[in-house]
Amino acid sequence: MTVRFGLLGAGRIGKVHARAVGSNPQAKLVAVADAFEKAAKELAASYGAEVRSIEAIEKAADIDAVIICTPTDTHADLIERFARAGKAIFCEKPIDLDVKRVEKCLAVVDKTKAALMVGFNRRFDPHFAAVRKAIDDGAVGKVEQVVITSRDPGAPPVDYIKRSGGIFRDMTIHDFDMARFLLGEEPVAVSAHASVLVDKKIGEAGDFDSVSVILETASGKQAVISNSRRATYGYDQRIEVHGSKGMVAAENQRPVSIEVASEKGYVRPPLHDFFMTRYIDAYANEIATFIEATTTGKKASPSGKDGLIALKIADAALKSAKQGKTIRLDK
């Protein structure tokens, strides 16, 4: 079976997903929709696809699945529409910035029994996936503590930040999902500290740029997350999982792994400077997983519920940071 795709949104992440579809022998890109027609046309042309309206894709008999890469505030509506249209749905995170809206959307998904997968791409990074596999293989025994480092090369434009839902819902949410993925148990309490240390304008926009978070599960497992919107040396993404038998860690990825030694010491080039090059394999594996799930009828993961829980943790973290107190998630 070949999965026939409609792509909603032809921006930079849309292009990444189009390439993943195009290079997968079990998938075909049939149609592209974008409010900006030139972008849609160019992307469609590269893969022998057509430009269609969202409505046309909704009704098309030759489309099995859609990938939603439109602006965040359209995600929930589109999920509902395509769930009702009987299409398999891959939606970029987040479903929505408002928990209530997400819950309403997921109710529609449940009722229509639509297949919905949410784009937490990092689970599909080969190195992070290998960490999860090492845990499953018993390499570290029972998981006890998770340490996640996540630092971006630079802050996005303040305009983006204003409509991003803030650092916890936009950036740390990936780490909340990763913590859940690795802990294997739901967090029940969150303590977060958040500051503006990188750029005052971020603070003026009502957001933070430097945060530290502890999550704790019912059995006492802990995850520690540290985030910054700026890392001069590149995209700093590391995880460590400590358990009863040992530790497993995934180190940073480097575009070029050479080292120059001189009287100044030993110098290695900076890390990747862009999340799309850093996670290029992760995006391809993510879409391959969605295609596989669509083909076999297996439940796609991470699910809408995974998206919802990560958002609830983000909301709690924000409340914790603002009120200066630990927030319980189980109350």
Residues 123-162 that bind a copy of itself (CB under 8 A): 126-127, 130-131, 134, 139-140, 142, 144-145, 147, 149, 151
The two tokens of residue 13 are 């992440």
Q: How far apart are CA 133 and CA 129, in angstroms?
A: 6
- Residue with the two structure tokens 């859940």: 180
End-to-end CA distance of the chain: 46
Give, as ranges, the residues between 12 and 31 that touch a copy of itself (CB under 8 A): 23, 25
Compose the 189-208 pattern: x for residues touching a copy of itself by CB under 8 A, - for all others.
x-x-x-xxxx----------
Position among 157, 159, 256, 331 found at the interface with a copy of itself (CB under 8 A): 256
Q: Which is nearer to a copy of itself, 99 or 139 (CB)?
A: 139
Residues whose CB is less than 8 angstroms from the CB of residue 267 and which lie 6 or more positions away in sequence, other chains included: 259, 260, 261
Q: Does the protein bind a copy of itself through residue 277 (CB under 8 A)? A: no
Q: Does the protein bind a copy of itself through residue 71 (CB under 8 A)? A: no
Q: How far apart are CA 7 and CA 5, in angstroms?
A: 6
- Residue with the two structure tokens 């926009």: 205
Instruction: Give CA separation, 126 vs 119, 121, 129, 179, in Å.
Output: 16, 11, 5, 17
How big is the site for a copy of itself, counted in residues (CB under 8 A)? 72
Compose the 222-241 pattern: x for residues touching a copy of itself by CB under 8 A, - for all others.
x-x-x-x-xxxx--x-----
Q: Which is nearer to a copy of itself, 133 or 298 (CB)?
A: 133
Give φ, ψ of 159 to 5 degrees.
-60, -40
Position among 262, 296, 297, 330 found at the interface with a copy of itself (CB under 8 A): 262
Binding segment (CB under 8 A) for a copy of itself, from list 6-14, 156-164, 244-252, 299-307: 244-252
Q: Does the protein bind a copy of itself through residue 319 (CB under 8 A)? A: no
Give, as ranges, the residues between 280 and 309 that touch a copy of itself (CB under 8 A): none
Q: Does the protein bind a copy of itself through residue 74 (CB under 8 A)? A: no
Smallest gap from residue 126 Cβ to a copy of itself (A): 6
* Amino acid (one-letter) located at 120: F
* Amino acid (one-letter) located at 131: V
Contact criterion met (CB below 8 Å) for 80 and 111: no
The two tokens of residue 64 are 């099995």
Binding segment (CB under 8 A) for a copy of itself, from list 29-37, 212-220, 284-292, 302-310: 212-220
Q: Does the protein bind a copy of itself through residue 265 (CB under 8 A)? A: yes
Contact criterion met (CB below 8 Å) for 77 and 286: no
